[in-house]
Amino acid sequence: MGYRLGCLFEMRKLLEFDFSAAIDGVVKDGIAKIEAAEDEVLDERIVNCKKWVLPPDHFDSYSIFKHSIL
pLDDT in tens, 11-53: 777 766 667 777 888 899 999 999 888 888 888 877 777 666 6
pLDDT of res. 1: 46
Q: Which domain holds residue 27?
A: 23-70
pLDDT of res. 47: 74
Kindly compute the dihedral angle of the four CA atoms of residues 11, 13, 14, 19, in this order, to the nearest 10 degrees. Answer: 120
The number of folded domains in the chain is 1
Domain assignment present for 69:
yes
Domain assignment present for 1:
no
One-letter amino acid identity for 33? Answer: K
Domain assignment present for 18:
no
Domain assignment present for 47:
yes
pLDDT of res. 40: 86
Domain assignment present for 39:
yes
pLDDT of res. 9: 77
pTM (2 d.p.): 0.43
Is the model's pLDDT at 66 over the cut of 50? Answer: yes
**Interatomic CA distance for residues 29 and 3, integer angstroms:** 39
